[in-house]
Structures are given as C-alpha cells and as structure tokens.
C-alpha cells in the first residue's frame, strides 16, 4: 500500500444534518425516519431518482417533484467532463444550475472511472484515465473528487472508493477495500464545506469478514452517513440480498444508510427490512426510454399490440400526471412512433411508481403492517439456476 493516513479529528462537518428514526418494524427491523439536510427533509425509506448530468432524463424538475421525489442524484464524473464543475459553481451551485431546490446527492465518480477498465490505470494515489470525449489524460484522486463535489455543492457527497468487479478474488477485494478506506481518510482531510455531508462507502465484495471489517472501520469515523457499495455489479440477486442483510446491521443505527445502485421492488423491500433508508437507480427512466411501464411489480412493454386500443390509464390507482391524463393506447402510440413525449410520460409514471412503493412501505412501518403487507417481497429468494452464494 502507499502512504498511510491517520483518521481526521471529529466529524463537526455533520452538524447541519440530522437523522431521526421515527418508527421501527418489530418483526424485520425496517425503519421509518427523517433525514434533515440544508435543502429540506427526506422522509425515509425513499427512492431517489438519478439525474446524471444535472437532469432526470426527459423530465423537468417540476415533473420530478410531482412524483413525490424529495432527493435526487447527480454524477461527479460526468459533470466534471461536461460542462465542468467551474461552470456549475459560477452558476450558483448545482441546485441553482438545475433549478432543483430539494436535497441533492453527488456520487464520487469512482464507479464510472472504474468501469473504464480499458482506459484507466489505478494505484494508491488514485486513477488516471483518458477522457472519452477528447482523449486527454485526467487524474482522479480522492482530493480531486472532493474538490469537484465541493464546487458542485450537493447536500450529500460520496467518498471516492474503489469498486471491485464481480467476480473478484479475495486478494483483489481485500486490496480494493483497504485502498477505499485510505482514500476515505484523504477525502475527509480534503472536505471543506460544513453544509455538505460526506458519506463513507462500505466495500468488501462477497466476503463477509471484509465487509464486517470495512463497516467497523467506517463506523469508528463517526461520519454523517454510510452507504453499502459494490453491489449490483453482476452478482445474482440472491447474493445482493445476503450482502445487504449481513452488512447493514453493522452500520450505526443513528445515521442514514444508503444502498447504492439498487431500485427494484424486491431489492428495496429486502434492503428496507435489513435497515436501509435510501436507494437510487436508473431503472425507471431507462425502462421508460425502452417503452417499459412499471406496474405493481410487473414490467409492461407498451409496444405490444395488446395496448394499441387499451384506453385505460397505465395504472388506475396511480396519481401521477400520466395516469391521470392519458391512456395506455396513447402512450403506446407515442412509444411506437418514437415521440419524446412518450418517454417523458413513462418516466413520470415509473419514477412515481418507485417513489410510491417506498412511501407505502414507510406508511406500513408506521402502521406496524410492513412484515405482513409486503410478505411476498420479503420471502426468501430461490437460488437462480447455476447461481452460487459465494461466501455468504
């Protein structure tokens, strides 16, 4: 390993942020809470739409807000490449630049950098890669990631970490986990803004002891919040569940817990039962751009002939703008004609659907009915054909 860093002193940077657990499911341990940020309160558990380039694809900020979304994400790596954090900062920060007055979270750029496997070099200092736009060499270090995120000005910023692939050897995952911890300490040293909460990310791959050690190391730093990372990178869903179930209880109960890159119904229900509070995923808008509607746990391809003359709303129980004003037939027509409005209407519905799913779970936790009302999502998963649960 490279240069070692001692843990910085107390996390006074967490003062503008407060997490309160308001109710707990006595059967599963699922919790409902309130996460206070400088730009508003996030009622948990909550799904957060992804706005990679400072926009949730095909949607206006007003449309996103109407879905019930309270917090959205933006991507440090992509915003650094285009338009550049300097422009965002001179515009007054990310909130003003994109006209979103609620809480925002920016990731560190780590996952995107590491996905450039043929274009980057990694060592203890950081990552060097070539821009996919113009080929210029870019150095991404923990300090640089934090500098960019400080300039962007999101409420929650993520530590720069190394996300190991799946599958990976124990040696590879151990090295990446140790490196991520050292990088976190450097992120803490570089962080300059008390109005931004720096979250640490628990890595460890599919190795329970590495996950346990990483969680203990991060918990000792008393950060404003914690994320479970390194899942949904190719593992079978059953293994994701095992990782989340084993890791989440090891994180401080009085801090928000965030599961990165997960947003299916079952994954969220299972993770909430384990004690997760926040989720993000590109699924709802990506599905929309492929003509897929999310309805009651199912995926409907609106290109199918059965929807051509179906004049009912996509979901008669859904309060979203799309379902209140348009038919399946109309949205199907737009999608088949490749009209942009069709993608927008489906994105509005799909984001609303996932936000409502977490809202319903929140209400069920308060009512004491979560374990029974969502029992179908909480049942143990059957192992996929040929899948292995590795070390869990």
Active site (catalytic) residues: 107, 280
Query: Cis peptide before 74, with omega less than 30 degrees from 0?
Result: no
Residue 322, classed as helix, strand or coil, is helix
Q: Name beta bridge partners: 18.
A: 36
Query: Cis peptide before 83, with omega less than 30 degrees from 0?
Result: yes
Residue 157, classed as helix, strand or coil, is strand
Alpha helices in the chain (DSSP H): 61-66, 76-81, 85-90, 94-98, 110-114, 142-152, 170-190, 208-219, 237-247, 265-274, 283-289, 321-325, 328-336, 340-367, 370-373, 375-378
**What span, in angstroms and rounded, lies between the C-alpha atoms of 58 and 321?**
14
Helix, strand, coil percent values for the chain (each to nearest 5): 40, 20, 40
CB 21 within 8 A of CB 39: no
Q: How far is CA 23 from the centre of its chain?
A: 23
**What span, in angstroms and rounded, lies between the C-alpha atoms of 152 and 146?**
10
**What span, in angstroms and rounded, lies between the C-alpha atoms of 292 and 392?**
34
**What span, in angstroms and rounded, lies between the C-alpha atoms of 7 and 294?**
44
- CA 138 vs CA 3, 8, 116, 127, 385: distances in Å: 21, 27, 12, 8, 42
**What span, in angstroms and rounded, lies between the C-alpha atoms of 337 and 390?**
45
**What span, in angstroms and rounded, lies between the C-alpha atoms of 39 and 101?**
6
CB 33 within 8 A of CB 324: no
Tokens 């009209």, residue?
A: 339
Structure tokens, 205: 């791959």
Q: Name beta bridge partners: 116.
A: none
Residue 61, classed as helix, strand or coil, is helix
């Amino acid at each position: 390993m490279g240069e070692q860093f001692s843990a910085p002193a107390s996390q006074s940077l967490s003062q503008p942020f407060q997490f309160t657990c308001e109710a707990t499911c006595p059967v599963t341990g699922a919790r409902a809470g309130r996460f206070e940020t400088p730009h508003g309160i996030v009622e948990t558990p909550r799904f957060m739409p992804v706005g990679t380039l400072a926009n949730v694809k095909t949607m206006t900020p007003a449309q996103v807000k109407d879905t019930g979304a309270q917090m959205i994400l933006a991507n440090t790596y992509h915003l650094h490449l285009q338009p550049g954090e300097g422009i965002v900062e001179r515009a007054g920060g990310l909130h003003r630049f994109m006209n979103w007055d609620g809480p925002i979270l920016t990731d560190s750029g780590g996952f995107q950098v590491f996905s450039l496997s043929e274009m980057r070099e990694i060592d203890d200092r950081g990552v060097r890669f070539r821009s996919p736009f113009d080929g210029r060499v870019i150095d991404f270090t923990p300090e640089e990631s934090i500098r960019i995120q400080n300039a962007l000005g999101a409420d929650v910023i993520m530590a720069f970490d190394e996300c190991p692939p799946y599958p990976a050897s124990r040696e590879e995952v151990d090295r990446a986990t140790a490196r991520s911890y050292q990088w976190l300490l450097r992120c803490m040293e570089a962080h300059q803004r008390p109005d931004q909460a720096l979250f640490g990310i628990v890595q460890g791959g599919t190795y329970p002891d590495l996950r346990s050690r990483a969680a203990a190391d991060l918990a000792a730093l008393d950060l404003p919040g914690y994320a479970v990372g390194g899942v949904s990178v190719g593992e079978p869903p059953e293994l994701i569940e095992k990782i989340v179930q084993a890791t989440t209880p090891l994180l401080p109960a009085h801090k928000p817990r965030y599961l990165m890159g997960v947003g299916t119904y079952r994954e969220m229900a299972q993770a909430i039962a384990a004690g997760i509070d926040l989720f993000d995923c590109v699924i709802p808008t990506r599905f929309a751009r492929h003509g897929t509607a999310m309805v009651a746990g199912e995926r409907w391809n609106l290109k199918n002939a059965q929807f051509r003359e179906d004049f009912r709303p996509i979901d008669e129980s859904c309060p979203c703008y799309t379902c209140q004003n348009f038919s399946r037939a109309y949205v199907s027509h737009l999608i088949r004609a490749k009209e942009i409005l069709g993608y927008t209407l489906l994105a509005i519905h799909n984001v609303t659907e996932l936000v409502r799913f977490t809202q319903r779970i929140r209400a069920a936790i308060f009512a004491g009915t979560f374990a029974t009302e969502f029992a179908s999502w909480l049942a143990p998963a059957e192992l996929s054909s040929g899948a292995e649960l590795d070390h869990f």
